[in-house]
Amino acid sequence: MRVYNFSAGPAQLPLPVLKQAAAELTDWQGSGMSVLEVSHRGKDFVACAADAEAAFRRVAGVPDNYRVLFLAGGATGQFSAIPMNLAAPGATAAFINTGQWSKKAIKEAARQGVNVVTVADESASSYTTTPEPGSFTVPADAAYLHYTPNETIGGVEFPYVPDADDVPLVADFSSTYLSRAIDVERFGVIYGGAQKNLGPAGLAIVVVREDLLDRARPDVPAIWDWKVMAGADSMLNTPPTFSIYLLGLILHWIESTGGLEAMGERNRAKAERLYAAIDASDFYTNPVEPRSRSWMNIPFTLADPALDADFLAGADAAGLTNLKGHRSVGGMRASIYNAMPDDGVTALIDYMTEFERTRA
């Protein structure tokens, strides 16, 4: 039996994609081998990676003057790569701090000698808010402005794209990657791990504007150098081949379900239904200011935390797994990424309603 998996990541994947991967696992495209066993330099895999990139470009609407890189090391690897590629030691970089993941990006830049300027800091609200548009000023000499469109742990999502004027905007899209239509031209760099909306762990997808490829520090290791990686079609070394293959399948699935406009509508509707259920009850609470509520990660607490364990055990028994909240927030967290069907959200709401009725 398939459960509804509300994990924050690695996360539930679309069933048709898993079925296709399973069906062709032992004999991929008539090769007599699985995709896990073929050379990344062979023509079949090179075509597979090119197809994944082309599909990503179509789905996300990536303009020609941007490169799409498939890299190992996850989003955390990019926390390191971003300063190495964009800011000399001592140079200024601007940051918006909306929670745990913003802080990790900041910490890594500071570790590399970047002069960190935090232009907006939401710690005073315990990270339940995003700054108002126009409420912060980005230094004109900043090498970039970094922000986290969706904070996976706090469940806080920007309802707008920050304006950085001529400063390149760098965004960690890990937990909201391709969850809705996106205007790539607003960004200098878009990056994120694939393991929530776009596939298995082990793959970071980096979209970088070409003019930013000439700003790397001279001593950046080749593996972290975006220009080197772009020149090698992301295959300087052996890439995470299975993750790239699965990314391709997922992108085709997104296209077959109507692309990002339709995906965004479904995600908005799923989130609205769950927030409506939480708000209609005195038993469940979501702490995030309404305008900054995430469509992807929805934390909620029970009025009586002594019931948390029972709530989770009952949910597990009902096939609703991984609802335990992050240890820093407590309570519950429902991650409802692209692959979470409407029925999964309905099942969760029904379970919550029944739990409240019998236990409140």
Ligand X SMILES: Cc1ncc(COP(=O)(O)O)c(C=O)c1O
Exactly one of 28, 103, 196, 226 is catalytic; which is it? Answer: 196
Neighbour tally for 46: CB within 10 Å: 14
The greatest distance separating any two alpha carbons of the chain, rounded to the nearest whole angstrom, comes to 64
Instruction: Tell the smallest beta-carbon distance from residue 334 to ligand X (Å).
Output: 15
Q: Is 74 in the site for ligand X (CB under 6 A)?
A: yes
What track of x and - describes contact with ligand X for positions 96 through 115 (by CB under 6 A)? -----x--------------
Query: Where would I find the H helices in the chain?
Result: 15-23, 43-60, 74-86, 100-111, 226-231, 241-256, 259-279, 308-317, 342-359
Instruction: Tell the smallest beta-carbon distance from residue 260 to ligand X (Å).
Output: 19
Catalytic site includes residue 172: yes
Catalytic site includes residue 101: yes
The answer on whether 41 is annotated among ligand-binding residues is yes
Catalytic site includes residue 196: yes
Q: Is 130 in the site for ligand X (CB under 6 A)?
A: no
What are the structure tokens assigned to 353, written together?
């309603």
The answer on whether 101 is annotated among ligand-binding residues is yes
The answer on whether 224 is annotated among ligand-binding residues is no
Restricted to residues 136-175, the positions that interact with ligand X (CB under 6 A) are: 148, 152, 172, 174-175
8-state DSSP, 36: G
The answer on whether 238 is annotated among ligand-binding residues is yes
Q: Is the dihedral of CA 252, 254, 257, 259 positive or negative?
A: negative
H-helix or E-strand containing 94?
strand 92-97
Q: Is 75 in the site for ligand X (CB under 6 A)?
A: yes
Q: Closest Cα partner for 146 from 199, 91, 109, 112? A: 109
Residues linked to residue 117 through DSSP beta bridges, in sequence order = 94
Kindly tell me which residue out of 76, 112, 285, 321 binds ligand X, with binding defined by CB under 6 A: 76
Q: Which is nearer to ligand X, 146 or 270 (CB)?
A: 146
Exactly one of 28, 101, 224, 295 is catalytic; which is it? Answer: 101
What are the structure tokens assigned to 25, written together?
């696992």
Q: Which is nearer to ligand X, 101 or 311 (CB)?
A: 101
Instruction: Tell the smallest beta-carbon distance from residue 23 to ligand X (Å).
Output: 28
The answer on whether 197 is annotated among ligand-binding residues is no
Can you list the pairs that 42-47 forms with residues at least 24 positions away whose Cβ atoms lie under 8 Å?
45/241, 45/245
Active site residues: 101, 172, 196
For the annotated binding site, the residues are 41, 75-76, 101, 152, 172, 195, 237-238
Binding residues for pyridoxal 5'-phosphate: 75-76, 101, 152, 172, 195, 237-238
